Amino acid sequence: MPDLNENHQRKLLTTCQYVDELLTEAIGRMTGPSTASPLQNYIADATPEQIAILQQQLQELRLGMIGMLGENEIAIPSPQISGLWAFRTALIEAGEVVFDLQARFMSNYGPLAPETQKRLDEIAARLMQRIEAFTQVFNSLTIQNPRPRQKETEAS
């Protein structure tokens, strides 16, 4: 479709990528987490048959989206974002949300007694220390064993 400009094309592509990500994550929630967590929100309550059918439907949706993008001459770029980089970003974000547990920020949700302020600051400090330790382990793993980046010609 020559009437789609670059912005239209980018919107179509990113929408398809987002739909794929949303539904892939949703199916993953039904199958259970790859690492068990007592903090998870979802119950892995789908039967293997339900999961298989939904995975097949997702595959058909993907094929439809790929076909639509091709029909509109929208190229699907190869993956460009490192999984390690995404994990590093998640660690940074985790640190930021824990930082906001400090009393000076939590007081925005309502008044806090001085002893509660102290307890919240201690909780935030302990969690921030754990995230920092996690970050140090992550950094040591990625510095010791960096994964070489593929050249664009090798990735094709």
Query: What would you report as the CA-atom Rg of the chain, rounded to the nearest whole angstrom?
Result: 22
**pLDDT over 70 at 156, yes or no:** no
> Taking the model in full, what pTM does it have?
0.74
Angle at 36 between CA 32 and CA 38, to 5 degrees: 110
Instruction: Compute CA distances 22 → 27, 28, 64, 120, whole Å.
Output: 9, 10, 16, 34
**pLDDT over 50 at 153, yes or no:** no
**pLDDT over 90 at 117, yes or no:** yes
The full 3-state SS of 30-69, as one line of letters, equals HHCCCCCCCCCCCCCCCCHHHHHHHHHHHHHHHHHHHHHH
Domain boundaries, the chain: 6-71, 83-155
More confident position, 56 or 42: 56
| pLDDT > 70: percent of the chain | 88
**pLDDT over 70 at 72, yes or no:** yes
